[in-house]
Amino acid sequence: MKNLSGKVVALTGAASGIGRCLAIQLADKGCHLALADVDRKGLEETIALLSGNTKVSMYIVDVADKDRVYAWAEEVVADHGQVDVIINNAGVASTTSIEDISYQDFDWVFNIVFYGVLYGTKAFLPYLRLRPEANIVNISSVNGFFPFPNNGPYNAAKHAVKGLNQTLIQELRNTNIRVTSVHPGGIKTNIVRNSRSADDFLEKDKKVKEFDKVAGTTAEKAASIIIGGLVKNRKRQLVGKDAVVIDLLVRMFPQGFSDLVGFAVGRKDRKSRQSAG
Ligand SMILES: NC(=O)c1ccc[n+]([C@@H]2O[C@H](COP(=O)([O-])OP(=O)(O)OC[C@H]3O[C@@H](n4cnc5c(N)ncnc54)[C@H](O)[C@@H]3O)[C@@H](O)[C@H]2O)c1
């Protein structure tokens, strides 16, 4: 989609992080915005940061609620008359091993990260079909091609989002709709702060600080790279230098790289446990 000006973009997870920066930068490019999130206060803060005079509407939507997502798609078309782009960005994480995580927390992550993207894609597809050109941008992760320990439902869901995206690319290839599968590396946002954890030895604050240390890309930069991928109709968009390096390492050492990460994180966790008691 070369020219974003005047296009209607529906965006989930717009109250924070990458989603907030996408909203700000898309408004600067002349897009009309239909912004969704579960966090009303955060959405209002995002809207207060927007410049330009395009139309902006906000919706409280839990992306894990299928009926609400379908109703949202109808509301967007009723409010804006059309929709040209859906960006399925909302996401959450966990910091617990598969063995220890409750099914409740597993489902919380999986339902938002995978089913949220599926519902957003299927609910908007009929309206996207009606446009001369349209785009679906689904946010996966580098964890869509390699797992990080103690984040099992997220790893599984992001792999599933990648599979969904690749299937959509195949199935929609002769249509007006282009699909971008986005794979960010570490982006400095609230994702770990908002995660669920069953661990008692590493308190949240410490995990947030650890994440902030390794997350090498700002949310602003991530948003501009994602918009670049949208404008160029890229099928696959890596976000951040770490994502580029990880992508290469995973191709070269598909199992070895995963083993190395598992070993390194396991050793660090053991040390933290020992120093905690
Ligand atoms: N931050 C990273 O390092 C990183 C890396 C790879 C991929 N991602 C992905 O980027 C996307 C954006 O995450 P972020 O890093 O900006 O995190 P963030 O926590 O800053 O923002 C996530 C947003 O999603 C919203 N949200 C959570 N549950 C929701 C629900 N049920 N319905 C609607 N909205 C909901 C939150 O309220 C928040 O506004 C996510 O899909 C995430 O998995 C992030």
Distance CA 83, CA 77 (A): 6
* Ligand 1 site, residue 189, Cβ cutoff 6 A: yes
User: Which pLDDT value is given to residue 234?
Assistant: 98
- Per residue of the chain (277 residues), give pLDDT as tens: 999 999 999 999 999 999 999 999 999 999 999 999 999 999 999 999 999 889 999 999 999 999 999 999 999 999 999 999 999 999 999 999 999 999 999 999 999 999 999 999 999 999 999 999 999 999 999 999 999 999 999 999 999 999 999 999 999 999 999 999 999 999 999 999 999 987 655 567 888 898 999 999 999 999 999 999 999 999 999 999 999 999 999 999 999 999 999 999 988 877 776 776 5
* The two three-digit tokens of residue 91, written as one number: 């996401």
In this predicted structure, what is the pLDDT of residue 61? 99
Specify the residue with its C-alpha closest to ligand 1, atom 25.
13
In angstroms, what CA-CA distances link 105 with 25, 65, 95, 161, 180? Answer: 33, 16, 10, 19, 28
Helix (H, G, I), strand (E, B) or coil at 66: helix
Best probe residue, ligand 1, of 189, 225, 246 (max atoms within 8 Å of C-beta): 189
Q: Is ligand 1 within 6 A of the CB of residue 166?
A: no
Per-residue burial over 83-92, b = 16 or more CB atoms within 10 Å of its CB, e = otherwise? bbbbbbbbbb
Ligand 1 and 120: CB distance under 6 A: no
Inter-residue contact 182 to 139 (CB < 8 Å): yes
pLDDT score, position 274: 73
Strands 187-188 vs 85-88: parallel, antiparallel or unpaired: unpaired
Quick one: CA dihedral 82, 44, 189, 123, positive or negative? negative
Q: Which domains does the chain have, with CATH numbers?
A: 8-243 (3.40.50.720)
Do 7 and 1 form a contact (C-beta atoms < 8 A)?
yes
Residue located via tokens 């989603």: 19
What is residue 16's three-state secondary structure?
coil
Q: How far apart are the C-alpha atoms of 141 and 182, rounded to whole Å?
A: 7
pLDDT reported for residue 15: 98
Residue from 16, 161, 214, 225 whose mutation best tests the ligand 1 pocket (most atoms within 8 A of CB):
16
Is the whole-model pTM more than 0.95?
yes
Query: Does the active-site annotation cover 154?
Result: yes
**Which runs of E-coded beta strand occur in the chain?**
8-12, 32-37, 56-60, 85-88, 134-139, 177-184, 187-188, 217-218, 236-239
Ligand 1 contact via 147 beta carbon (within 6 Å): no
Tell me, using a 6 A CB cutoff, whether residue 112 lines ligand 1: yes
Dist. CA 277 → ligand 1 center (Å): 33
Ligand 1 centroid–CA 199 distance in Å is: 21
- With a 6 Å cutoff on the Cβ, whether 89 touches ligand 1 is yes
Ligand 1 centre distance from Cα of residue 13 (Å): 6
Question: Is any ligand 1 atom within 6 A of the Cβ of residue 191?
Answer: yes
